Structure 1
Amino acid sequence: MLPLVLHLIFSNAYSQEKGATTIGIIPKPNYIELQEGFFLLNKNFEIKYESDFEIAANFIKKFISQGISMDMSSKKPKRPISFIKDSTIQNQEAYKLIINPKEITIKASTGKGAFYATQSLRQLFPSDFENGTFRKKKLNLPCLMIEDAPQFSYRGMHLDVGRHMFSIKFIKRYIDFLAMLKMNTFHWHLTEDQGWRIEIKKYPKLNEISSLRKETLIGHYSDKPHKFDGKTYGGFYSQQNMLDVVQYANDRFITVIPEIEMPGHSQAVLAAYPELGCSGEPVEVATKWGVFEDIYCTKEQTFDFLEDVLDEVLDIFPSEYIHIGGDEAPKTRWKSCLDCQKRIADEGLKDEHELQNYFISRIERYLNSKERQIIGWDEILEGGLAPNATVMSWRGTAGAIEAARQKHNVIMTPTSYCYFDYYQSKDENEPLAIGGYLPLEKVYIFNPIPEELTKEESKYVLGAQGNVWTEYMASEKQVEYMVFPRILAMSEVVWSKTNTKDYQNFLERLKNFNSRLDALKINYSKKLN
């Protein structure tokens, strides 16, 4: 296959003094060898690539063009940035980046690996390239060799849009954050007691009723008496909105995993369709935070509804995994529900915990029949684990250990290391948060492999993610503040080898990275503890 060639001709360039150079890439690559000399980037340069690497090549073309104007009229010899397919690189996300005085070479076996190489190359450029303010005439990039691959296959960030909803423009910006840090999964929490955010055409009342709450709690949940703002809040994303986000993420090698909560966290649905609950009595979309007793009933009508909803979800999201929640589902209503007690008797179940296992297993069978797999919070272990389920362990590590020992895949999200809704500083002027305390260093030192697991059992740990629950994040700027810089530490947790990590070295690289965050106008916290 003949390589495609893109000519990038620059009227401006950057001058850099020769001398000591610090390579401050985040997440830290596995191996860096700094070499003598520089690659001079000036107005005469080209990008060479095969079609497999089109996304990566176009990314670096656009990125450089943001900092340097193009002049296609130049006839001078051009220095190449070459993307080369190297089938000897076995990890599909691995890459090699080689810079010498004559050329820049990126080697990978897939477009994904090549894209991650461009994210490392991007960080060798001045931060002025991020926002189009670069104005100098030439740029010296240090000669080096990087060999890199991720430690974990699942590297994610979560965002709750049920408690507070954010624009599609911000969702895409959030995905850009993930791409910059070589994360590959966006867990989109779309349904909650306080609001249903996904358009379902067969059930229009989900969008007319379930997506809106009449008011929202003011202050902290612990403040008594509770006060409310008296303002209707809500909205939903159209299916076209979400298809657009999925494509946007796919162009950055990020998989979007939707979460549709069941059987708990479903009060917003029951406000529109009370017949799906145990009592059949109307409830309202929740206006405050917490756990609610009104959950889906286990009657056939509920499963018909959920299968219809999932059919539309599957048409939007091509991900292998669908997250079905499974957490915080009180059994109070089930214990007094004739339909649920009949289900327990008919299926020969021991109790309501086994009824939850029946519920989750039935949904799993349906999704498996559509060639999809489920992820659930670690409560899905209660009453028995669905046969093919992946467990997202959030209440510590016990759920992960139990699931891995049963040979089930695990994703680590323990509150003490991964909940970015916790306070990140003890400063009394910190904005209101749910509670807890998770400083940057504690995120950084997290090891997703529980020490109780054997080497064989640890293979079931796919990776980890940071969780962003938004009860106390009403604005996009507040989300950024709670996420940054902790997402930088999490990116290194899931990408970099544990034995290469060094917190003080990370802090040095973070100082340099902050200028990039400034250029991107990211509202990050400057408080480290």
Structure 2
Amino acid sequence: MAQSAKYAILPRPALLTEQPGTYTLPATVSILLPNTNAEIRGVAGLLADQLTRATGRTPKIGQGQSGKQAIVFALGKGPKLGAEGYSLRVTPKQITITAEEPKGFFYGAQSLLQLFPAEVFSPSIVKGISWAAPCCYVEDQPRYTYRGLHLDVGRHFFPVSFIKKYIDLIALHKQNTFHWHLTEDQGWRIEIKKYPKLTQIGSQRKETMLGRYGDNKYDGKPYGGFYTQDEIREVVKYAQSRFVTVIPEIELPGHSMAVLAAYPELGSNPDKIVPVGTKWGVFDDVLFPREETFTFLQDVLTEVMALFPSQYIHIGGDECPKKQWKESRFCQELMKKEGLKDEHELQSYFIRRIDQFITSKGRKMIGWDEILEGGLSPNAIVMSWRGTEGGIAAAKQKHDAIMTPGNFCYLDHYQADAKTQPIAIGGFTPVEESYGYEPTPETLTPDEAKHIIGVQGNVWTEYMRTPEYVEYMVWPRAIALAEVGWTPKDRKNIDDFLQRLAVHKKRLDYLNVNYFGAPINNKFEYQWPAPTAKR
């Protein structure tokens, strides 16, 4: 058996040394911890739960440094492994996971599970299996600190149960960030107590596009949905237990038709009726840089920041048409007053005001690369999607950047011949292309390169009506990007990856993931009636 099949760990560890022999899970297994740290105990609990579900053997969790055929968590000495690093030693007598912080133990546990037969991911007991793991020594830590996966719930809304499953899969592949795109022209999806019309009006659209954009056909069915603040808290807590940070995105000043449907006074004309978007694409109706708008956005962001403890808050900033600003006496006078030479600088003024507010709350603002136009806000982090130029420009200005260029990282692109696939937005990004991405551009100096903090897969859901279709588009390409973010550049190998992936697909089958190439590829249309209320 090739090493890549026998040691099918994804993403590939920085170091893996094959050793003879196997460890066999005993009838009564102990998980021994170094101390009473609640987070480390939580990791042990998740590992024990999975082993119990699949094997029927319930591990006992206690404290200690060694035990017969025990799984031992040991604290590393010194900063060798880093916050997310771990070592994993598998011998016939004992398994030892060594880490310095709880998240290191979590990632070590993910690698350990992947050494057992694929059936270890079963949701119910599997009998007749030899629960053995091959002996080895692994020393591992991530290449980048930011390893993300995004989901747009504005175009199509997905239930909390699916969001949790999405987070489980993010965590399994050692990604650490879920970027939750919560607001869009076609729907506002987060409850804001101070502005109830955002969900009463902004979360509902009268119909949805059918088929391809050019067909200009609609289903005629009301569509809606949003997350209550309690549901948001539930998701954030769930993600924290798996060391996934949830970053909210509140789009501004463009992609805001759902806001203007609810509060038209924040746009070009308080008397204008703006519908929640039903068509895909970019619209001229945008937020206006009035004081009332800034008050509104500060109120919204205050509630958002109370729900999301993440260091980063994403404010969008992409695809903001300037037509209404050009035609507005108010905007033109504001530009004169503030000494702004064009509408791009007016957008920078808008973004800078929001950046100041977010910074005053001790957080950091992320925006799409359009926030570079007209001058970059002092504390902003750039998410580079229109190619790599935005990330390069940000790094040269000593700003951190997250790389998400469309041709490698956009998982709404086709992944095979379009004639053989359900409808998608266009483009072509096979798994090999995602895997081949190199996030740190060679044009950067070593000091500038430090500002490339990571990589992210983006999932825009115009054509993804169901959880099953999201899964079909996301996996395995997101796994390829997870390896791009984690594994050292010189350890990457596409043939080796595909061999490990072949084993890994059996795990995804047990996890009921409808990945591309899965035996259950279907369900690309609605699986439940289009909701007209919160659910």
TM-score, L = length of structure 2: 0.92
Letter of the 1:34 counterpart: E
Pairing 1:260–2:247 present? no
What SS is found at the alignment partner of 1:210?
Answer: coil
Alignment RMSD: 1.6
| Matching of residue 84 in structure 1 with residue 74 in structure 2 | yes
1:42 equivalent in structure 2: 26
Partner of 2:231: 241
User: Is the partner of 1:296 in helix, strand or coil?
Assistant: coil
Residue number in structure 2 paired with 1:135: 127
SS in structure 2 opposite 1:242?
Answer: helix
Q: How does 1:468-487 map to 2 (within 5 A)?
A: 468-487=459-478
> How far is the alpha carbon of 1:137 from its aligned partner?
6.5
- The answer to whether 1:208 aligns with 2:192 is no
2:209 counterpart (217, 220, 223): 217
| TM-superposed deviation, 1:72 | 8.6
- The residue type paired with residue 244 of structure 2 is I
Give 1:70-109 correspondences, 5 Å limit: 70=57, 78-88=68-78, 89-109=80-100
Amino acid at match of 2:176: N
Indicate whether 1:168 and 2:160 are aligned: yes
Q: Distance in 1 between matches of 2:401 and 2:58?
A: 51
- Judged with a 3 Å threshold, the aligned counterparts in structure 2 of structure 1 residues 21 and 293 are, in CA distance, closer, same or farther, namely closer
| Alpha-carbon offset, residue 507 of structure 1 | 0.8
Separation of aligned partners in 1, 2:306 and 2:347: 26
Identical pairs, percent: 52
Q: Which amino acid aligns with 1:35?
A: Q
Aligned to 2:341: 350
- CA drift of 1:37 comes to 1.4
Q: Does 1:429 align with 2:420?
A: yes
Structure 1 residues 21, 343: CA separation in 2 closer, same or farther (over 3 Å shift)?
closer
Structure 1 segment 307-326 matched on structure 2, within 5 A: 307-326=298-317
Task: Determine helix, strand or coil for the equivalent of 2:420.
Answer: coil
Q: Which amino acid aligns with 2:54?
A: G
Name the aligned partner's letter for residue 467 of structure 1.
N
User: Which residue does the alignment assign to 1:63?
Assistant: 50
1:362 is aligned with what amino acid?
Answer: R
Q: 1:54 to 1:250 in 2, by over 3 A?
A: same
Distance (whole Å) between structure 1 residues aligned to residue 448 and residue 175 of structure 2: 24
Change over 3 Å in CA distance of 1:194–1:476 after alignment to 2:
same
Separation in structure 2 between the aligned mates of residue 71 and residue 243 of structure 1, nearest angstrom: 30
Q: How does 1:100-119 map to 2 (within 5 A)?
A: 100-119=91-110
Partner of 2:64: none
Correspondence for 2:440:
449
Q: Distance in 2 between matches of 1:51 and 1:212?
A: 47
| TM-aligned CA deviation for residue 317 of structure 1 | 0.3
The Cα offsets for residues 362-394 of structure 1, whole Å up to 9 and x where unpaired, read as 000001110011000000000000001000000
Distance 1:94 1:227, change over 3 A: same
* Matching of residue 363 in structure 1 with residue 363 in structure 2: no
Equivalent of 1:147, from 132, 139, 145? 139
Aligned in 2, Cα 1:283/1:500: closer, same or farther, shift over 3 Å? same
CA contact (8 A) 2:191 2:228 kept: yes
Q: In the aligned structure 2, how far is the partner of 1:38 from the partner of 1:264?
A: 57
Distance 2:153 2:161 in 1: 14
Residue in 2 that maps onto 1:440? 431
The separation in 1 between residues aligned to 2:77 and 2:274, in whole angstroms, is 58
CA contact (8 A) 1:278 1:339 kept: no
Secondary structure, counterpart of 1:79 in structure 2: coil
**Counterpart residue number, 2:524:** none
Task: Output the CA distance in 1 between the equivalents of 2:456 and 2:59.
Answer: 43
How far apart are 1:454 and its partner, in Å? 1.4
User: Equivalent of 1:156, from 148, 152, 155?
Assistant: 148
Superposition deviation, residue 45 in structure 1:
2.0
Structure 1, residues 258-314: CA drift from partner, whole Å, max 9, x if none? 000000000111011100001221210010100000000011110010001011001
From 31, 48, 69, the counterpart of 2:15: 31
Decide whether aligned partners of structure 1 residues 352 and 128 sit closer, same or farther in structure 2, where only a CA change above 3 A counts: same
How far apart are 1:141 and its partner, in Å?
Answer: 1.6
Consecutive unaligned residues of structure 1, counting only runs of 5 or more, are: 1-16
**Aligned residue for 1:389?**
380
Take 1:351 and 1:195, find their aligned partners in 2: how far apart are those partners? 30
Structure 2: distance between partners of 1:282 and 1:340: 20
Helix, strand or coil at the partner of 1:146: strand
C-alpha distance in 1, partners of 2:408/2:130? 43
Q: State which drifts further: 39-48 or 205-214.
A: 39-48
Contact 1:298 1:339 in 2 (8 A): no
Following superposition, the deviation at residue 491 of structure 1 comes to 0.8
User: What letter corresponds to residue 32 of structure 1 in structure 2?
Assistant: L
Change (3 A) 1:524 1:43: same
Partner-residue secondary structure (3-state), 1:355? helix
Q: Distance in 1 between matches of 2:347 and 2:467?
A: 35
Q: Which of 361, 366, 371 is the equivalent residue of 1:375?
A: 366
Task: Say if 1:72 and 1:247 are closer, same or farther in 2 by CA, change over 3 A.
Answer: closer
One-letter code of the match for 1:391?
Answer: V
Query: Which structure 2 residue ranges, 5 or more long, are not aligned?
Result: 61-66, 519-535
1:279–1:337 CA contact under 8 A, matched in 2: no
Whole-angstrom CA distance in 2 between matches of 1:369 and 1:446: 36
2:500 is the counterpart of 1:513: no
Displacement, 1:130? Answer: 1.3
**Quick check: 1:192 aligned with 2:184?**
yes
Match runs of 1:385-424 below 5 Å: 385-424=376-415
**Cα deviations across residues 443-492 of structure 1 (Å, max 9, x unaligned)?**
00000011211111110000000000000000000000000110110111
CA shift, 1:119, in A, is 0.4
